[in-house]
Homo-oligomer: A and B are copies of this chain.
């Protein structure tokens, strides 16, 4: 089935299969984002939570749990936990990146202020930890608290690695494993663990989440040099302006001649950017074919994600998870 002609997108198919549970997750999220004392908290949280994100991460937790034969109720708590962690990181990311647009809408730091974004993010982290304690599974707590540390570590690494032309593909992989794949893999793994799945199924679902998250982030970074604002909801060239070293640029820097290196040094390390520099950067990426190479890597990770699912029994949900891996890279396929 070609994804371009598919009537129903896989995350929508997953949403339909998990309709009851996703409604429960949504109720739990709205119930727990309330703050009796500080009304600004639900105000800001609603701005993000109700912005029409795909809710990919909580769906992954629910799908994993169901795929491993779990009937509930605690996959709902874990799914809400994962969405809270995700929302908290979005709030803090937008402060750190000084972003003004998220999912096609003004960011919270723009509508309110940085202070509110920092503190409401902290509140959502804490709410996530309260929620994850409720199922009473220490193994799940380990997975999710480890993921939280890995996410923050990835973000700090990104901060120090950006603006530094010495950043190589190894560092890039660590950064995106932290900032993106850690939560995907924790989402799938915790779903399997709460279902008390057999060890090889837990490992398989964790590996699926990891590879899916990496594919997802590589595509995101690729689209920053090639997508359109309407398709991604973000501005093209954001990473360039923020002087982040993402895979297409890292590959181009590795092949740069002296003159190109001087260009990258000026725009990324020194940060002196003029009007035509984004265009010239895109020209260099095209010259060295790095957008294509990056695209191939994204497809490889999607393939890895699908292969990881091999040990799991064939079910509707497994089929949709396979489709989802294709869908994540479909924007660049």
Chain A residues near B (Cβ < 8 Å)? 35, 37-41, 89, 92, 95-96, 114-116, 118-123, 125-127, 129-130, 133, 136, 138, 141-142, 145-146, 148-149, 151-157, 159-160, 174, 178
Contact = CB atoms under 8 A, between A and B. Distances in A.
Given A35-B153, A153-B41, A157-B37, A133 B126 contact: no
A126 B142 contact: no
A130 B147 CA distance: 10
A227 B165 CA distance: 49
B96 A152 contact: no
B122 A152 contact: yes
A119 B40 contact: no
6 contacts: A40-B159, A92-B122, A95-B115, A119-B155, A123-B149, A129-B149
Given A122-B92, A149-B126, A160 B40 contact: yes
A150 B40 CA distance: 14
Residue of A35, A122, A145, A146 with most chain B CB atoms under a 10 A cut-off: A122
Contacts of A121: 122
Given A40-B159, A129-B141, A141-B141, 14 more contacts: A38-B153, A38-B156, A38-B160, A89-B122, A92-B122, A95-B114, A119-B156, A120-B156, A122-B155, A129-B129, A130-B142, A130-B149, A133-B138, A133-B145
A138 B114 CA distance: 34
A40 B152 contact: no
Contacts of A115: 95-96, 159
Contact of A153 (B37, B142, B152, B174): B37
Q: Lowest 5 CB-CB distances: which A-B pairs, in order?
A: A123-B152, A126-B148, A126-B149, A129-B145, A122-B152
A119 B133 contact: no
A28 to B, nearest CB: 15
Contacts of A92: 118-119, 122
